Amino acid sequence: MNTVFPPAPSVTVPVVGTNAQFPVHRIYCVGRNYVDHAQEMGHTGREPPFFFMKPADAVVVAAPGCVTPLPYPGLTKNLHYEIELVVAIGTGGKNISVKQAESHIFGYAVGLDMTRRDLQNDMKAQGRPWCIGKGFDHSAPMGLITPKEAAGDISHAAISLQVNNVLRQNSTVEQLIWNMAETIAELSAAWELQPGDLIYSGTPAGVGAVVPGDTLKGCISGLTDIALKVV
Ligand code: MN
């Protein structure tokens, strides 16, 4: 193909147990999907799900067994971590039913929805879009994708985040307000899901700020851990 400049390389994430890569299409994120986090953000935890997006090239792959550098972004003085279960879509579709949703999932990964909380709050206060607070470069670190058959019973998995070896977030996936099937059903009514879509499913309570030098370690039982150092 004759292009006026070289196309951007596609964003891919390694898949556990194979040499194959998962090509990323879009990144959808669910807001306030754990009751305790919704409450810490000033809400009841009973609101319907809502969505925002990050660019696909915001992914930072955190390879197992090493500490991956995570650049501290510009413009913020309040960079927050949010540990999240990432759902990787293998089969697309629109208006997917809750019953059918599971069959559209390829696998799962541990992710961080990094957030410039000060900018997000400014935008919220002004009724403006969140993208400067959520969709910045390097805002979507994640670990390798584990195929669902190898992940075990992810709906009851423990999810946790340590900052500098201190436990900051600790919950289980069953605490999700809108579970993965319900989220896929809702999302697919608004957008036609495609193979390669990632869904950051929301974070439990305990979000907070990190600064350069801090180390983040995220774990979800059954999946590959992630470790990153803010630089
Ligand atoms: Mn989030």
How far away, in angstroms, is 82 Cα from ligand 1 center? 6
Residue 89's contacts (CB-CB under 8 Å, 6 or more residues apart) are: 25, 104, 105, 106, 184, 193, 194, 195, 196, 197, 198, 199
How far away, in angstroms, is 215 Cα from ligand 1 center? 19
Evaluate if residue 217 carries a pLDDT over 80. yes
SS3 80: strand
pLDDT digits (tens, 9 = 90+) for 124-135: 999 999 999 999
Determine the average pLDDT of the residues in 23-40: 92
How far away, in angstroms, is 6 Cα from ligand 1 center? 33
Determine the average pLDDT of the residues in 138-159: 97
pLDDT score for 14: 98
How far away, in angstroms, is 84 Cα from ligand 1 center? 7
Evaluate if residue 45 carries a pLDDT over 80. no
Q: What token pair was written down for 223?
A: 């999946």
pLDDT score for 39: 85
Band (pLDDT 50/70/90 cuts) for residue 48 is: confident
pLDDT score for 121: 96
Query: Percent of the chain scored above 90 by pLDDT?
Result: 92
Evaluate if residue 37 carries a pLDDT over 90. no
pLDDT score for 49: 86
Evaluate if residue 46 carries a pLDDT over 80. no
Task: Give the burial class of 223: count Cβ atoms within 10 A of its Cβ; 0-12 exposed, 13-18 middle, 19 or more buried.
Answer: buried
pLDDT score for 44: 80
pLDDT score for 35: 86
How far away, in angstroms, is 218 Cα from ligand 1 center? 14
- Domains, the chain, in order of start with CATH, read 12-230 (3.90.850.10)
pLDDT score for 47: 75
pLDDT score for 38: 83
Band (pLDDT 50/70/90 cuts) for residue 178 is: very high
Determine the average pLDDT of the residues in 50-54: 96
Q: Where are the alpha helices (DSSP H) in 164-226?
A: 180-190
pLDDT score for 205: 94
How far away, in angstroms, is 29 Cα from ligand 1 center? 6
- CA distances from residue 141 to 29, 38, 118 in whole angstroms, order as listed: 13, 22, 20
| Model confidence, pTM | 0.97
